[in-house]
């Protein structure tokens, strides 16, 4: 029998999460990320809860000898944004990745449900948001299945040179 357990990520998860972020960028947007930069970014997020909070979905299974083994199956990063309009925080779901061998098995649903429960139990949290690549129809169906709707916004950005960091 197997089940999913969601836990806070730890510094020891940095290498795996960075590897997953690089894979996610390639799989979803065909973007090649700089591994040292991603590793440093994940490490900074893990070290500073004001920057980010990472969660890891663990698939747990009993072996024939009744030992429980746990295998990382996916991750999700959470950031917060203050809303003066609502006097509260939007919780942003970002950097979602489910390892290929664990897809379509409820890993994202477990991560989403965990974060939604935390947000609902936090008085300043006013809701969950995320952004998704326009062409990623599978992800959009997954998020819709969680009760999320298109908020009607497009995202614009102005990226500064990496040398500033």
Instruction: Compute the distance between CA of residue 41 and CA of residue 94 in angstroms, rounded to an integer.
Output: 13
Instruction: Compute the distance between CA of residue 35 and CA of residue 74 in angstroms, rounded to an integer.
Output: 19
- Would you say the C-alpha torsion 138, 140, 144, 146 has a positive or negative sign? positive
Average pLDDT of every residue of the chain: 92
pLDDT at 86: 95
- Tell me how far CA of residue 13 lies from CA of 8, 45, 105, 131, 151, in angstroms: 10, 12, 22, 24, 32
Q: Is the pLDDT assigned to residue 162 strictly greater than 80?
A: no
Each residue's pLDDT tens digit, 89-105 = 999 999 999 999 999 99
- 57 by Cβ neighbours in 10 Å (0-12 / 13-18 / 19+) ranks as buried
Instruction: Compute the distance between CA of residue 57 and CA of residue 33 in angstroms, rounded to an integer.
Output: 23
Q: Is the pLDDT assigned to residue 165 strictly greater than 70?
A: no
Q: Is the pLDDT assigned to residue 161 strictly greater than 90?
A: no
């Amino acid at each position: 029998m197997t089940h999913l357990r969601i836990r806070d990520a730890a510094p020891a998860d940095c290498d795996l999460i960075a590897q997953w972020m690089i894979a996610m960028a390639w799989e979803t947007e065909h973007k090649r990320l700089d591994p040292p930069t991603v590793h440093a970014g994940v490490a900074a997020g893990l070290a500073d809860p004001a920057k980010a909070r990472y969660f890891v979905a663990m698939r747990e299974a009993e072996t024939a000898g009744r030992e429980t083994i746990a295998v990382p199956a996916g991750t999700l990063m959470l950031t917060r944004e203050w809303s003066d309009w609502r006097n509260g925080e939007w919780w942003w779901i970002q950097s979602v990745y489910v390892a290929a061998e664990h897809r379509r098995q409820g890993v994202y649903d477990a991560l989403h449900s965990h974060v939604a429960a935390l947000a609902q139990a936090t008085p300043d949290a006013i809701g969950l948001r995320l952004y998704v690549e326009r062409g990623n129809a599978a992800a959009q169906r997954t998020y819709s299945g969680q009760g999320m709707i298109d908020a009607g916004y497009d995202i614009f950005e102005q990226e500064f040179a990496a040398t500033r960091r």
